[in-house]
Each structure stands twice: as structure tokens, then as C-alpha cells.
Structure 1
Amino acid sequence: MLTIAIPQLYCGASGQRGAYNRQEVGLARAFAALGARAVVLYPAPGADKIEVETPAEKVKVLYCPAKTLGVNAFYKSWQPLLDEKVDAVHVMGDNSLAVPGLYRFCRAHSIFFYSQLGALASQSQNPAVRRVMDLFCRRNLAIYRRTPTYAKTQAVADELEALRVPCAGVLPVGLDTAIIPEISEPRAALRRRLGLDEKANYLLFVGRLDPYKRPLDVAAVLAALPETWQAIVIGQGSLAGALAEAMQASGLQDRWRQIPQLPNAEVQAYYHACDVFLNCNDREIFGMSLLEAMYAGCVPVARCAPGPDMIVEDGVSGFLVEPGAGDTAVLAKAVRKAAEAPAMADAAKARIRSKFLWRNSAETALAMLQTKGGKRDG
């Protein structure tokens, strides 16, 4: 049985116990469902021993002692890869400083190394940090040039090719369906349970209320829609107060509801209860809430960005709008069109099920490993 390790090289909230929709665990479950064994490694700064979880059969999660430098995680030892008899490592390393050390260890111990990248340039807000990280990334690029390297989006695939890194293909992030509850209630019953108007049209925004998500545009879009439309905003952040003020200034105070935080199972109910999902971020790298909305049949309207451009088939499974001056009016027009096209809901569901589940990416990776020889003795 092939054993694949998925180490997280970033140290942040996404890998902590209880975190929702951990990419590594979702992929691990998909590998296990296809007959492989998967071991996920998460850094545990300050820990003095490894702690273990088993979220599913043939899936093991190890919280390993590690040190940190900024958001970079450095494991104190890669010995767990040997203890678990790992055949291959699936690395989402991007520009992490820990990639070269992991690669050297894998080469020394005949462990197959391949990557799935979501970004190459530093995302730091500090220009000096960005320059340093981009300089260090050259070491990673040298490794990516001589190992199988996949991109999470077409935009990253294009960037890899521009940097003379052969791209093995686009291997997108997927949904982990094991953590998404089945909701079979009719929409009318669901709205009654959630306290929503059964006859209204609902626009849904899910995400951080911070500048990069552009949540203030929800008010402008809602103002351009008929009074039959209401908005649900799920999220919190630095612009929460400004959004409330914008709604008040536009006379929309009775047509929207902000829910700062909800258990993720309850967020799924809103995806099913609302008509249209709005994504305002014009730099969206991917968009997990976009995937979840479409999976539930909530038709997306999104500004063009690397993630939405890859996920949404414009005019088929949702609408894409070029960002620019006055585009909130165009977004509002697209919202109305989406609500009037019931076939789009089924197309959105089909799009995610056929292209953006972790199983799809796991199948591609396993096929590559069988071809390249991912076995330790191969």
C-alpha cells in the first residue's frame, strides 16, 4: 500500500485542531478512499513530543515539534517520514523556507517528492519581507524545476512556465465532502428555520470583512437591486462597522443581516437557502466559500480573479464580471440574471462535483505516482 505524507510548512491557524476545511486532511481522506495510506504532518510549536489523531481509516495526523520564523514552520526532525514508511511527499510548499531541507531529506532517503503550489510571490504586506522571501524562493524554484510540480490554479501554472518551471498540470484545491452536511430540506422550510423571508431574493456574502475581500461593495450591489432583494453577510473583520454605516447611508438597514460567526454546518444551510453568492475580491487566489456555495447550488457572481476564473464557467455555472469603475452596477445586473436562471444552480453543483473535489486531485496524483514510481524501492 502506497503511503503518502502531506506536511504543512506554514504555521498558522489553518492546521490547528478544530480548524475547518484543512486542505491536507481533505486530500488525505481522498487518498485513503482510493486505496492509499496518508499521513498529515502539522507543526506544533512548543511541543516536546508528537501527538496523533486518526480522523479516518488509513489517515493519520501528526502534530510534530517545530520551530517557527514568521509564518514558516521548521520541523525539529523529519524522522516521522521514516517511522511511517512514507513512499512520497505531497508538498504544498509555495515559497516556504523549509522546502529545501525537506527536499534534501527526501533525496537522502529515497522518498519521492512532488509539489502542488498555490502561490510563489510573497503575500507579506511588508515590502522588505516580500523582497527577502522572493529572493529565498529562488532555492525553491530550483527544486520545482527538477521534480513534478503542479499548480493549484491556471494563473500559477502560467507563472511557473514564465519562471521556466515545467508545470505537470493544474491540480486544484478541492472540497472535503466528509465535513459538509447533507441538507435535504426544501428551501421554503429551510428559510423558515433560519428566520428568512420565504418570498424574498437573498444575496449571500461569506468571508472576512477586511479590505482585500471588498465587503463594502455588498452595500452598493444591494442598493442597485430591487427591494425584493435582501443580503446575508456572514463574517467579521475590520470593515464591519463601515459596512453597517454604508448600509444605513443607503437606506438598506432593513434589507440586510450580518452574522459575525457561525458553526460551519450552519453556514452550509445559508448556502442552500440563498439565491446568489457574491464574491467581490478581485484578487481571489482560489475561494473555498465559492466552492461550497456552488456545491450547494447557490449560483455565484464573482469579480474576475485567478480562483473564480478557473472555477466558474461564465454564463453556465455562474457569472464573472471584469473589475473596474462602476462594476457594482454590472455585478447587480449579473445577480438578477443568475436568480432568473434556475438551470445555473444545477450547473454549479455539477461543476464542483466533476472538477473540484479532493478525490479528483488525488486521482491525478496517484496516476502520476504510478507512472513515475513513487515507491521507496522503485
Structure 2
Amino acid sequence: MKLGIICTMINGFGRRGFYNTQEIGLGRELVRQGHAVTIYKCVKKEGAGEAERVELGDRLSILYIPVSSFGAHGCLDTAVLDPDMDAALCFADNQIFLPHIHRFCVRHGIKLVPYIGRTHSSSGGVHGFVMNALFHMGTLRWFRRGPVISKIEEVRQELLQLGVKDVTVAPVGLDFSVMKSNFREYDRAQLRRELGLMPEDTVICTVGRMGPEKNPLDLVDIYREVRRQKPCKLLLVGEGIQSDELKARIAACEWAADIILIDRIPNDQIWKIYAAADYFVNLCQTEIFGMAILEAMYYEVSVAALVAPGPSVTLQDMPGHKLCRDYEDVKNWLLAEHPSREALHESAARTVQRYNWKPCADAFLSIAAGEKQ
């Protein structure tokens, strides 16, 4: 079949050049199963930029499309979509401009399948209220018209309560083609030296956007408490709207010399961060899935994550990792004896088995093979 993957979000989701983007991972699995795939990825419009197509391999390409937007909601001009597609999966969530994509697909007999990780705005106040109202008036009505796929069971239950009758759960997965499968063969001591660490260091890390939802400032505070009782170093990778504040918080820390902040790192080098670390901490309480958490488990780094929709699923039955109720739980995990290599290796194997893109691809293809809408 000729398939499309549509991503209208213009926030950090699927940011160009990012390490483990969901739409590309799914696209590669669909190609592996014998289909031709075009990914339509909206990006923030700057000037008079034109759409750019990048070939990712045989029968797989991604079209980066500059769009106007309202917050993280990209307004895609459907003229760029191929009317001859058999079906398209849309990373939907609560995107408010999706109904006109739905209408385009209806006109051209294209089966459109929403893939949903969130049913409400993550913003508070008036903005969040307006976004949720627009979602209920438009996008939700489209979800009710046919089969949809949710990323986790919690979202499935929310959709059912909202009147969506046909919901299949299919988790996100890692794109193993960009993972360093032979990372264990590398000299870990040398990898640490490359990052300014010592071979004997206990290393706590995090990777992601440095914004309020990720609570990087709180991580520095937790590190200070842990450091008072246990020699360790903190490795932070990422940038965002709190980067300047984060640098100030680090500078004010009495152990600033033991904190390393890396704004950016080439995608093909990110594996070294995980391979060098002992712990990975995620303090986001609204984490829908957490690709960095999956990456950390794959690379056998002990994860401490606050209770959130994603970690509550991905850390289930994963030895060597901890789902934490609060910051005190996180601190205690970091102060406890480090999990065994055997436990972390077992969890890594389960991550590969459970969190690949085949279940999502299979669910999409099963819906696409039915009658066109």
C-alpha cells in the first residue's frame, strides 16, 4: 500500500534531527512490512521557507513542511498531501486543525487513523481552556467516527468515556536502526573521559528539553541532597526555555564543578551519554511515554521516574528501575545500592521485546485494510 504518516505538531515532538523520532520509527517498520511511506512533518514557518523532502531509504521519505500555527498546533495545507494514498496515520492528540485533514481524506477515499497520546491540553489557564474547548468542538467528533489507536490504556479509557467507541492500544517503540546495538563492546572508562568524567564516578543523567514540564531545576536540587551523602556527578543534556535559569542554578551549587551541562550533542553520539551513566532521572509528571526513558532502559541505565502516564506503563515489571511517588523516592533510589547488571540486562531485553513499532504498525494496517471511509 501507499501510506502516509502525518504529524502536525510543531513543538519538540519529532523535531528534525532528533534522536528517536516516533514517526520515523513507525515509518521504517511499515516499510519493513512491504509498504511505501511518506511522512508529512509540520515545522514552524520562518520566512518564506518551502517544503523539503528528505529520502530516508528505499520507499521511505519525510517531507518537512513550514506551516502557520497556533501554539503547538500546526495548520497543514492539505495540498501537499498525496491524494492517491491508501491510508494515513496521524499523530493526532488534541490537535485542533485535524478536521480539515479528515475532510481531505474523506474526499479522496483515504483511510485516516488517529494515533493518540493525549486528550487534553498540557497548558493551564485560559489557553488550556480554549484548546480543550476547540478539541471537543472539532477533533473529538472526528475521533468518534471510526477506529482510533491510543498509546496507552489510560488514554483508551479517557477516549471511551468521551464517546469514542473503537480504540486499540498500541505502544510507541524505539527505532533500533539508530541505536548502538554493540555499545557493550566499547571501553566505558574511555567514554566517560570523553565527557569529562572519571571511570570511577557514579553518574546521574537526564536527556531532554530543559523546560518547566521536565523540572530540570528540581533535579539540580535533588542532586545537591544526594551529593551531600554520596559522591556522584550530574550530567545534563538538552536545552530549552529554562536553560539560562538552569545554568544559574548550577553556578550557585556548591558542587557546580561536578555538574556537566551539554546543550547539544550529535545524534549519532547520544548513545555515549547513556553508556557512560549509572542513573537516568525523569521528573516530568505529565510524561506521555518518554522515549528517553526507553533509550535509557535499552542502554542498561537505571531509571528513576516520577509517576506519570508513560512511566507507569513502561517501568512495570522492569527490574533495576524505579517508579517514584515523589522526589524523596527519587533521592532514596539514587542513594541506594546500584541495581545489578543482570537486572538491567533483563529489563533491556524486555524493552526490545515490548517497545518496538510492530504492534502499532500492525494495528494501523489492520484498520487500513478495512473498508475505506
Give TM class, smaller chain: 0.7 to 0.9
Assess if the C-alpha contact under 8 Å between 1:95 and 1:140 holds in 2.
yes
Q: Match of 2:98, as an amino acid?
A: V
- 1:122 Cα deviation after fit: 2.0
- 2:56 alignment partner, SS class: strand
Q: Match of 1:209, as an amino acid?
A: M
Pairing 1:120–2:119 present: yes
- 1:200 Cα deviation after fit: 1.9
Query: What is the aligned-residue RMSD (CA, Å)?
Result: 2.7
CA distance in 2, matches of 1:56, 1:25: 11
- 1:243 Cα deviation after fit: 4.6
Equivalence for 1:340? 339
Q: Show structure 1 runs of 5+ residues with no match.
A: none
CA distance in 1, matches of 2:291, 2:16: 19
CA distance in 2, matches of 1:47, 1:89: 27
Equivalence for 1:129? 127
Q: Match of 1:134, as an amino acid?
A: N
Deviations 1:302-322 (A, max 9, x none): 111111111112662510111
Deviates more, 1:31-40 or 1:348-357: 348-357
Give the length in aligned residue pairs.
366
Assess if the C-alpha contact under 8 Å between 1:304 and 1:321 holds in 2.
yes
- 1:160 alignment partner, SS class: helix
- 1:27 Cα deviation after fit: 1.3
CA distance in 1, matches of 2:131, 2:204: 39
- 2:78 alignment partner, SS class: coil
- 1:98 Cα deviation after fit: 2.2
Q: Match of 1:30, as an amino acid?
A: E
Deviations 1:167-220 (A, max 9, x none): 522222222222334433032332234332111211112223332212233234
- 1:300 Cα deviation after fit: 0.6
CA distance in 2, matches of 1:167, 1:338: 45
Deviations 1:261-287 (A, max 9, x none): 222222210101111111112222221
* Distance change (3 Å), C-alpha of 1:317 and 1:10: same
- 2:146 alignment partner, SS class: coil
Q: Show structure 2 runs of 5+ residues with no match.
A: none
Assess if the C-alpha contact under 8 Å between 1:338 and 1:344 holds in 2.
no
* Distance change (3 Å), C-alpha of 1:238 and 1:133: closer
Q: Match of 2:135, as an amino acid?
A: C
Q: TM-score under structure 2 normalisation? A: 0.87
CA distance in 1, matches of 2:174, 2:60: 17
* Distance change (3 Å), C-alpha of 1:349 and 1:236: same
Pairing 1:106–2:105 present: yes
CA distance in 2, matches of 1:236, 1:56: 30
CA distance in 1, matches of 2:243, 2:104: 46
Deviates more, 1:174-183 or 1:272-281: 174-183
* Distance change (3 Å), C-alpha of 1:113 and 1:257: same
CA distance in 2, matches of 1:240, 1:67: 26
Equivalence for 1:53? 54
CA distance in 2, matches of 1:283, 1:13: 15
Assess if the C-alpha contact under 8 Å between 2:23 and 2:39 holds in 1.
yes
CA distance in 2, matches of 1:88, 1:132: 31
Equivalence for 2:75? 74
Deviates more, 1:54-63 or 1:244-253: 244-253
Q: TM-score under structure 1 normalisation? A: 0.86
Assess if the C-alpha contact under 8 Å between 1:14 and 1:20 holds in 2.
no
CA distance in 2, matches of 1:66, 1:193: 40
CA distance in 2, matches of 1:271, 1:124: 30
Equivalence for 1:228? 231
- Percent identical pairs in the alignment equals 27
